[in-house]
Amino acid sequence: MWRRCLLPGIAGWLAAVTPAMAFIAYVSNEKSNTVSVIDTEKWTVTNTIKVGQRPRGIEFTRNGKFVLVAVGDDDRIEVIDTATQQVVDSLPSGPDPELFTQDAAGKILYVANENDNTVTIIDLEKRVRVGDVQVGVEPEGMAISPDGKILINTSETTNMAHFIDTATRQIVANVLVDARPRFAAFKRDSSELWVSSEIGGTVSIIDPAKRIITGKIEFSIPGLRREAIQPVGIGITKDGKTAFIALGPANRIAIVDANTHKVTKYLLVGQRVWHMAFTPDEKYLLVTNGVSNDVSVIDVAAQKVIKTIQVGELPWGITFAQP
Amino acid sequence: MIRQLVGVIGISLLASYALAADPVEVGIGYLGQAGVRSKLSLVEQPSENDGIAGARLAIEDNNTTGKFLNQRFYLEEVRLKDGEDIAKAATALASRNGFIIADLPAEALLKASDALRGSKTVLLNAGSTDDRLREQDCRTNVIHVAPTRSMLADALAQYLVWKQWKRWLLVVGSHEADKLYADALRRAAARFGAKIVQERVFEDAGGARRTDSGVTLIQRQMPVFTQQAPAYDVLVAADESEVFASYLPYRTWDPRPIAGSAGLVPTSWDAAHDQWGAIQIQNRFIKLNSRRMTARDMQAWTAARMIGEATSRINSGDPKSVFDFLNGADFSVAAFKGQRLTLRDWNLQLRQPILLVDGRMVVSVSPQEGFLHQHSELDTLGVDRPETKCKLNR
């Protein structure tokens, strides 16, 4: 009798007090020209950092010491020191930087410059521009293959995923996808490259070796027009089994079985859901809701929205330090 | 042995020919009229290259994509002078180009369409808003990229009704185009539950649009013209001929907002539009043309982009194949309007959201929330399938 009461009691007490790992998320607010800092222990905004005009793409440096944020209307990338949570430097990015990615060593930064159809290559240590690659019209999505050999850039009006050899900096293949490709993500095992098409309303599954489309994820939500379903951000779990796709003005996250490429569930989040980031332990997924000015927290295992955190105006990108 | 060798050489020749395949070359003609229409406002005065400047940008965009696909796009411009034979010009242009972007009045467009009957060349209407071209006078060889007057009027009406400005004072110009726009506005009022409390006609008495002391006169004229009206919420002006509408704001007898041809204007594009990535095309356009992008520029850009989009998808510039793709289920084009644009298969009209602008800002974008449709909310704008008079002979 005693045992039965005691054990669940202790187990419950232990679960309650075992401190969850606290992580810090940085969220770019496109309209307010700020970056919100979220503490996942308290699930609140602990600081708001003033940055340049129109912050969008945001990512931790590989060493976790800095956060880079593209401030498009100021034509540069600002560097936030995570120790002081202040802007300490900026990088020459080329005009109107939006999204960017780094090589595995964290030495080279590849930036999509929407205004002049180029991908700019920046040496992060020397902080200089070391080259450009001419791509299609309105470059946007950026991803680097897990082995670091191929850089993917998507161009929104050309509707392609460009495969760029990072050694020669030449385009080696182009894959035509549906209209307005916004975001690209590799599975960790390099078996698949996913590209979201905002206006086309699909996610293309590309075989990175053959460089052809092998499948497409389509979405259908009862009561919603096809035009309102606009996939943008993609998050694939490290084990490559589950993916989360932000559907923009459909105000939903699609949960996809990453093996069968079938949607298993839609989660209602905030308005115009855009980009996302997992906590490093992958317990939670945070998604930015542009129009409702907040971030939804999704419990990854339970596949449920558990919290909403108010941030700045038009939250766009989000990043966590990877341990 | 020799035969075998010849065979091998033949095959390798064939293979190398296939590898160095000829590029897909797509010729696009641009058929417009010489001269520009005069506007009341000096800042709205169109450039000489109004329209074609947008097509030029789309050709650049198509060629940037085309260099990855071995496709090339060319643009050939023809401007008709007064009295010039439209059929002859269209036929000559069609002999060199599989597509013609037309920026022509309705009557001239119909002449061009009839002249090209039996030819493979496809016309894309980027200039005329006349509903009849999509209704009783629709043609199988004309795709309409420009919105119709009824789409524009419906877009405006949805917003005014949402705003609860339901009592309209309708002022109509005395020219044919003004009357057609007024027809569309009346239809929109009836569809969306607005009431036209009174109609007035503003007669065009002639005279210059620019005078050195014009303001003094207008300031006296407009209050008098608008006095003694029944109670109304908004003055809706139909003045495509640019005779009076731009004189109305701030000068009405009663303090009321203006909409239609001045004040809050429904349009396919505006230089102030910056949502949904539009800032990128605005910047590209300014860089190329050293001026801001107009609705006519955007309509021509969209027309040329539709051809580019189809060509990239089917890897063919054959007009018939491109036409079939454009009118098929797989076609959609992204044009910075926040959603995909597709063709209405019953009359070849491009579905599109309509911007409501005040000359400095985009005030709203229609269709408005809550105006629902069983197929596409974009079909709440303009003449819908069940009402159409168009019978395409296909």
- Rounded distance between C-alpha atoms, residue A230 and residue A301, angstroms: 25
- Rounded distance between C-alpha atoms, residue B303 and residue B325, angstroms: 14
CA–chain centroid gap for A163, Å, is: 19
Produce one character per residue of A148-180: b if its CB has 16 or more CB atoms within 10 Å, e if not: eebbbbbbbbbbbbbbbebeeeebebbbbbbbb
B351 to chain A, minimum CA–CA distance in Å? 12
Same domain, B255 and B295: no
Which chain A positions have a beta carbon within 8 Å of B68's beta carbon? 136, 158, 160, 162, 171, 174
- Rounded distance between C-alpha atoms, residue A172 and residue A268, angstroms: 39
**Cβ separation of B340 and A179 shorter than 8 Å?**
yes
Mean pLDDT computed over B369-394: 90
Mean pLDDT computed over B18-32: 84
CB-nearest partner of B339 from A155, A162, A199: A199
Same domain, B218 and B163: yes
Q: What pLDDT is stored for residue A312 in this prediction?
A: 97
Share of chain B above pLDDT 70, in %: 93
Q: Which string of DSSP letters, residue by residue, matches A153-201?
A: EEETTTTEEEEEETTTTEEEEEEE-SSSEEEEEE-TTSS-EEEEETTTT
Mean pLDDT computed over A290-301: 96
- B340 inside 8 A of chain A by CB: yes
pTM, two decimals, is 0.88
| Type of residue at A239 | D
In the beta sheet, which residues pair with residue A318?
Answer: A27
Residue B8 has pLDDT above 50, yes or no: no
Among B215, B236, B266, the domain boundary falls at B266
Cβ atoms of residues A206 and A175 within 8 Å = yes
Cβ atoms of residues A293 and A312 within 8 Å = yes
B225: domain CATH number is 3.40.50.2300
B residues 271-290 lying closer than 8 A (beta carbon) to A: 277, 280-281, 283-284
ipTM of the complex: 0.81
B249-261: pLDDT as tens digits = 999 999 999 999 9
Among B319, B336, B352, the domain boundary falls at B352
CB-nearest partner of A136 from B65, B332, B339: B65
At B201, which helix (H) or strand (E)? strand B195-202
Share of chain A above pLDDT 70, in %: 93
Same domain, B24 and B123: yes
A54 to chain B, minimum CA–CA distance in Å? 12
Q: What's the pLDDT band for B5 if we cut at 50, 70, 90?
A: very low
| Type of residue at A206 | I
Determine the residue among B59, B65, B281, B325 to mutate to test chain A binding: the one whose Cβ has the most chain A Cβ atoms within 10 Å.
B65
Which stretches of B7-165 are assigned E, i.e. beta strand?
24-33, 71-80, 99-103, 122-125, 142-144
Mean pLDDT computed over B11-24: 56
Q: What's the pLDDT band for B11 if we cut at 50, 70, 90?
A: very low
Same domain, B127 and B194: no
Which chain A positions have a beta carbon within 8 Å of B57's beta carbon? none
- B135 inside 8 A of chain A by CB: no
- Rounded distance between C-alpha atoms, residue A191 and residue A241, angstroms: 12
- B155 inside 8 A of chain A by CB: no
Same domain, B162 and B108: no
A20/A151: higher pLDDT? A151
Q: What pLDDT is stored for residue B290 in this prediction?
A: 97
B38-81: pLDDT as tens digits = 899 999 999 999 999 999 999 999 999 999 999 999 999 999 99
Determine the residue among B62, B282, B284, B375 to mutate to test chain A binding: the one whose Cβ has the most chain A Cβ atoms within 10 Å.
B284
CB A213: neighbour CB atoms within 10 A?
18
| Type of residue at B103 | D
Q: What pLDDT is stored for residue B1 in this prediction?
A: 46
Cβ atoms of residues B48 and B3 within 8 Å = no
Q: What pLDDT is stored for residue A144 in this prediction?
A: 96
Using a CB–CB cut-off of 8 Å, the residues of A that contact B are 96, 114-115, 117, 136-138, 155-160, 162, 171, 174, 176, 179-180, 198-201, 225, 227-228, 230, 249
Cβ atoms of residues A205 and A214 within 8 Å = yes
**Cβ separation of B332 and A158 shorter than 8 Å?**
no
Q: How many CB pairs under 8 A join A and B?
A: 67
**Lowest mean pLDDT: which of A18-27, A70-79, B131-140, B312-321?**
A18-27
A117-145: pLDDT as tens digits = 999 999 998 988 899 999 999 999 999 99
Q: Please report whether residue B318 resides in a domain.
A: yes
- Rounded distance between C-alpha atoms, residue A252 and residue A270, angstroms: 7
Quick one: closest CA in A to B340, which residue? A199
A5/A95: higher pLDDT? A95
Q: Please report whether residue B359 resides in a domain.
A: no
B92, exposed or middle or buried, with CB in 10 Å at 0-12, 13-18, 19+?
middle
Among B250, B266, B282, the domain boundary falls at B266
Cβ atoms of residues A181 and A196 within 8 Å = yes
Backbone angles phi, psi at B322, to 5 degrees: -65, -45
Q: Please report whether residue B97 resides in a domain.
A: yes
Share of chain B above pLDDT 90, in %: 84
Q: Please report whether residue B367 resides in a domain.
A: no
CB-nearest partner of B68 from A138, A174, A198: A174
Determine the residue among A53, A116, A117, A157 to mutate to test chain B binding: the one whose Cβ has the most chain B Cβ atoms within 10 Å.
A157
Q: Please report whether residue B369 resides in a domain.
A: no
A95, exposed or middle or buried, with CB in 10 Å at 0-12, 13-18, 19+?
middle
Same domain, B143 and B8: yes
Residue B171 has pLDDT above 80, yes or no: yes
Range of the domain at B208: 150-266
Q: What's the pLDDT band for B392 if we cut at 50, 70, 90?
A: confident
Residue A305 has pLDDT above 50, yes or no: yes
Residue B2 has pLDDT above 70, yes or no: no
- Rounded distance between C-alpha atoms, residue B368 and residue B159, angstroms: 6
Q: What pLDDT is stored for residue B7 in this prediction?
A: 46
B133 to chain A, minimum CA–CA distance in Å? 27
CA–chain centroid gap for B10, Å, is: 51
Same domain, B129 and B48: yes
Determine the residue among A137, A163, A180, A230 to mutate to test chain B binding: the one whose Cβ has the most chain B Cβ atoms within 10 Å.
A137
Same domain, B130 and B25: yes
Which chain B positions have a beta carbon within 8 Å of A112's beta carbon? none
Residue B127 has pLDDT above 50, yes or no: yes
Q: Please report whether residue B154 resides in a domain.
A: yes
Q: Please report whether residue B374 resides in a domain.
A: no
CB-nearest partner of B334 from A117, A199, A228: A199
Same domain, B205 and B338: no
- Rounded distance between C-alpha atoms, residue A29 and residue A40, angstroms: 18
Q: What pLDDT is stored for residue B18 in this prediction?
A: 41
Same domain, B291 and B325: yes
Which chain B positions have a beta carbon within 8 Å of A115's beta carbon? 280, 283-284
Q: How far apart are the first and last CA of chain A?
A: 44
Residue B135 has pLDDT above 60, yes or no: yes
**Domain total for chain B?**
2
Q: What pLDDT is stored for residue B209 in this prediction?
A: 67
Residue A74 has pLDDT above 80, yes or no: yes
In the beta sheet, which residues pair with residue A176?
Answer: A160
Cβ atoms of residues B229 and B254 within 8 Å = yes
Q: What pLDDT is stored for residue A177 in this prediction?
A: 97
Which chain B positions have a beta carbon within 8 Å of A225's beta carbon? 376-377
**Peptide bond before residue A181 is cis, with ω within 30 degrees of 0:** no
Same domain, B254 and B277: no
Same domain, B159 and B233: yes
**Cβ separation of A230 and B339 shorter than 8 Å?**
yes
Cβ atoms of residues B366 and B379 within 8 Å = no
Q: Please report whether residue B52 resides in a domain.
A: yes
Q: What pLDDT is stored for residue A323 in this prediction?
A: 62
